[in-house]
Structure 1
Amino acid sequence: MYELNVEKVNLNRERDVKEVKKFLEKFELDLDKDVDYTVVIRVDDEIKATCSKSKSVFKCFAVDDDLRGEGVSAKLLNALNDKLFDEGKYHSFIFTKPKNVEIFSGLGYKLIEKGEKVALLENGIYNINSKLDKIMKEYNLDEIKNRAALVMNCNPFTLGHLYLIEKAASENEEVLVFIVEENKSLFPVEDRYNLVKKGCEHLKNVKVIKGTEYIISSATFPSYFLRKKDDILSAYTTLDATIFGKYFAKKFNIKKRYVGSEPYCEVTNAYNKTLKDILPGFDVEVVEVERKTEKDSAISASRVRELIKNDSITEFNELIPKVTIDFLNSEKGKEIVENIKNSNSAH
C-alpha cells in the first residue's frame, strides 16, 4: 500500500506542464489548453496519476496500472471537487474514455451518454433531466405541441440568424431557439440571448432559451470552441447530437432541427453532417436551409465581426437587424466593438 498524496501542479511553470503531458502521452491523451487546475499523485517523485479540470469539467484523467485498486480515482476527484466547492460550484462533469465509465459510476457519477471514443458523466445538485424539467416549467412548454428547434451562438445576432428563425417559425407550430450558453464568445451570453429575444418578439410562436451546459458546451463539444478539426471531432459531434436527440428532442417533442448551410467553417460543417446522421434515429428531421446572402456572400457572424474589426460600419450594418445595430451603439456595445478591434482575430 502506497502513501498517496495529491499535489497541485503549477500550470504557469512550463517544466511542470511538460511533465504532466509526458505522462498523459502513455495513455494517448494530452493536457488540454483550457485546463485551469491540475493535480497529480506521485510515487518516488514520479507522476503515477493525474486529473484536470476546465471550469466544472473534469478531464485528462489517467492512472498508472500499478496504482489500480489503491483508491486513486477517488482521491483525484475529491481534490478537484474541493477546488470546485471553493469556487462555489456544486455540479461537475467528467469527460473521459468509455472504459473509465465503470470507475466513475462507482464514485457516484451518472452517465449521460457515451460513444466509441468518449463518455460524459455528471454529478451534483442537479442533472440533465431536472434541468430540462426546469426549462419546461420556466418557459411554459406543454408536452403536446410538435416543435422545431435551432441551436445558435449568435456572436452577434445577424439577419442570417433572423432569416433562419423566421423560416422555421413559418413552417412549424412552435419553435425553440437555444442560445449557446458557453461564455467563450466576444459577445457575452446575456447579450446574445437578449438580442435574439428582442429580435424575435414579432414571432409569437418562438421561444428563446439559454442552451444550458448540455448543448454545444465545453463538456459536450469542446472542438466547437477550439475551431479546428482533429482526430476526435466526430466523437465530440456525435456525443452532442446524441444528447440533443436523446434528451432535448424527447423532452420537448422536437420533430425538426433547423441548421444553416455552412460555406466557411469546417467544424460547423462536420457538425451539420453528424446531425443528419444521428437525429433521424430519434425521429428528428434535420432541415438544412441555404444561408441568406448579401452581395453574393453568405451572411455570417464571423463576417460581421471581421467587418467590425476593419471599421467597415456601413457594410456590417447591412448584415444585422436593428436590435443589433442599437446594441452596438450602446455603451456596452461600444466596449465590445473596441475589444473586437483590438483582438488578434475576429473569432
Structure 2
Amino acid sequence: MTVTIKDIAKAANVSYSTVSKALNDSPLVKPETKRMIVEKANELGYTPNFSAKHLVTRRTNTIGLVWPTIERVALSALVTRVNQHITNSGRTMILSINHALEAVELFSRMRIDGILLFEEEIPQDKLPNNIGIPLLSYGVPAIEQFPTVGVQHELAMELAVKEFVEIGHQSIAYAGVINGTGRRQQAKQIGYEEAMRKRGLKSQRIDTRGLDACDADSAIERLLTEPTLPTAIICSSYDIAIGTLRALRRNGIQVPNDLSLISYDNIPQLAEADVPLTAVGVPIDKLAKELVETLLALIEGEQAATGRKLTPELVRRNSTKPRA
C-alpha cells in the first residue's frame, strides 16, 4: 500500500501542509519538527511522488543524460564523474543510450529539469528547435542551436605533435576515425593535420573505422603489413590507445622503445595501462564539473557562459621516448 503525505501527517499528529513543507525542507518548519516528520516518513516507508511534486514546484530535481554508449572506457569514466557532480547537487541523473532524438523526446515528455547531450554522430541542429526545457550540448561550439561546452581539440593535437617533435620524432601518425561524421573526431583530425603541416611534416592517418579498442587493434594489424612504420602515434581516445598498445605488444613492438604513444583523454585509467600512457586532454573531473555547473546555471535561468572550449593539458608518462 502506498504511503501518502496524509498518512505521515496522521502518524506525526501535524497538519498535511506542515508535512509537505518539512519534506521540501522549508525554513518555515522548526528543525525539531522537520526531523520528527522525516523520521516518521522513513518509518512508514514513504517514497516521494515526483509527478505530484512537479505539479507544485515545476521541478523534478532530475537531469537527463543523452550518451552514445557505456562500452567505451573514457565515456564510462566521464559519465561516472558527471553523475557524482549531479548527485552532489542534490539531483538524480537518468541515463539514456538510445538514439539522441528518441532520448531527447523522452526526457522532454518527462519534463525533467534539464538535459545534457553528448553530441557525437548527430549534430544538435538535427534536434527540434524548442524542446521546452534547458539543454546543454557537450560538443564542438559552432552550431549554437543550444548552449554548448567543448574542448580545444585542435590545441590538444598541437600539444601532442609538439611534444613528439621536441623529442626528435618526425614520422608521427594519427589513429582514429578518419573523415567521419562525429564533429569531435573531425576536430581532432583537423588539429593533427594542421600541426603537422605547419612543421612541414607529412600526415600519416591510421583509419580505425570505429572508436572501440578492437577497431584500433584491427587497424594496427593492417598498419603492420606496411613496409615502414611511424616512430610515434597519437591516438584519438583512451580506447583507441589501448587497442593500439595491445596490437603492438602482440606483434613484439615495444612501447616506448620501438614506438612512442600519446593518447587523447585525460583520465586516470591511462596511468594504469600496461605501459602508463602520456595523455592530452581536459582533466576528467574538471570537464565533468564544468558541464554540470553550466547546465545547473541554465536550469536556474542564469546567463551561463556557453559556447566556450576548455583548455587541454599534456601529462607525461612512460609511453613516450626521445627518438635516437
Q: After TM superposition, is the score higher than 0.5? A: no
Length-normalised TM-score, structure 1: 0.30
Greater strand percent: which structure?
Answer: 1
- Compare relative contact order (CA 8 Å, sep 6+) and give the higher one, 1 or 2: 2
Larger radius of gyration, structure 1 or 2? 2
Length-normalised TM-score, structure 2: 0.31
